[in-house]
Amino acid sequence: MYPRVLILLLLMLTIPLAANAAEAINDFEINVLPAEGQKDFSEGYFNVDSEPGQTLSLNFRVINTGDETLRLSAEAVDAHTAEGGGILYSVRPETADKDQLLLSDLLDVQDTVIIAPGGVEKVHVHIDIPESASGTLLGGIMLTDDNAAGELLLEPEKKSGSNYSFERVGQRLVAVKLNMPEKSASGFSLGKAKFNADRNVLTLKVANGKSAVLERVQGTYTILDKEGEELVSGVVEPFAMAPMSAIKFPIDLKGQLLEKGKYVLMIKGRADEKEFFAEEKFSVSEGEQEAIAGETAETPAAAFRGNISRTIAIALAAFFLLLPLFMKLDKRNAKDPLLKLSDK
């Protein structure tokens, strides 16, 4: 009987979670309206073939699906690349080059969108493209519910992808990708490898130096010691890069603790259609080796404390779940002193 009761309780607890998972995360929807040069109206963002010197007029609808008045802030954002790969969108990225042509500088949109319950508001976007534009300009309009907390920074669920369509609680992105006739050649390049002892992480400088979106960067890597013996090998999972961006890409050491010495990182792969190969040397000093040893000495103790905390939490949860059953049995025993726990 009691196992069945526990299973029923667990099922009752999971029902609200399943219901919430099916609900929309925001009280507003976005419909991108047809635009001149739009490649595909089903993509959910503006992917427009454009010309230098052209003036664009883009429009989209915001639908309030809630039962309260909705007040949204609208702000132009630019694309940049996350440190682990993948495209993010934020207000004037810190990594932007001072000479870089940013879409946010060309885009004009109203600051606030107010929509009555069940209402629809049309938002107009005006873009003046300079004669010097080439390649691809990537950014968009971020809509943020004034009641939502958090910084104006998108943390995409698919961090490795282009994230042209993104939504989280209180925020939605309307991406704008402008494709100029003059395409930029691939500016993909690999720089120095650098070891960080504090985090036992190896990073590699990866750059996209042209006004072009790299949709798929992928490859494999191997780390060799000075004798040429292979220590670590792995796969660089596909990721995208925004135009004119550079990152310090983390190379997974897979738990390998590097000792004092010299090493070589060998990496090869493809950036869209372009193949790449590089050998980057790096070293680990005696001080860095000691720092690694210190970090690993603290890790088991921290893990042990974490396991104790989890065990206590599980035990308390089980106790409170079983408490009503024990109280019921106690009452039955009080009524019939001959009743035992094994009785059916």
pLDDT tens for 226-250 read 999 999 999 999 999 999 999 999 9
Structure token pair of residue 147? 């009641």
Residues 24-57 have pLDDT tens digits of: 567 899 999 999 899 876 678 999 999 999 999 9
pLDDT tens figures, 106-134: 999 999 999 999 999 999 999 999 999 99
Q: What is the arithmetic mean of pLDDT over 81-96?
A: 81
Task: Parse the chain into domains and list their residue ranges.
Answer: 26-179, 188-284, 285-344
Domain at 26-179, CATH class: mainly beta
Phi, psi values for residue 95, rounded to 5°: -85, -5
Percent of the chain with pLDDT over 90: 51
This prediction's pTM: 0.73
The pLDDT value recorded for residue 337 is 46
Question: How much is the pLDDT for 73?
Answer: 94
What's the mean pLDDT in 70-85?
92
Beta-strand relationship, 245-251 and 261-271: unpaired
Domains 26-179 and 188-284 share a fold: yes
Taking 50 as the threshold, does the pLDDT of residue 67 lie above it? yes
Rounded Cα–Cα distance for residues 271 and 219 (Å) = 9
Distance in angstroms (rounded) separating the CA atoms of residues 299 and 289: 16
- Return the H-helix or E-strand segment holding 280: strand 274-284
Mean pLDDT of 203-222: 94
Name the band, by pLDDT with cuts 50, 70 and 90, for residue 179.
Answer: very high
Residue 112 confidence (pLDDT): 95
Residue 335 clears pLDDT 80, i.e. is over it: no
DSSP symbol at 27: S
Cα–Cα–Cα angle for 258, 261, 266, nearest 5°? 70
pLDDT over 70 percentage in the chain: 71
Q: Among 268, 236, 264, which Cα is nearest to 250's?
A: 236
Select the CATH number that applies to the domain covering 188-284 from these four: 2.60.40.10, 2.40.50.140, 3.40.50.2300, 3.40.1260.10. Answer: 2.60.40.10
From the CB of residue 240, how many other CB atoms can be counted at a distance below 10 Å? 24
Give the tens place of pLDDT for each residue, 265-307: 999 999 998 999 999 999 998 888 877 766 554 444 444 444 5
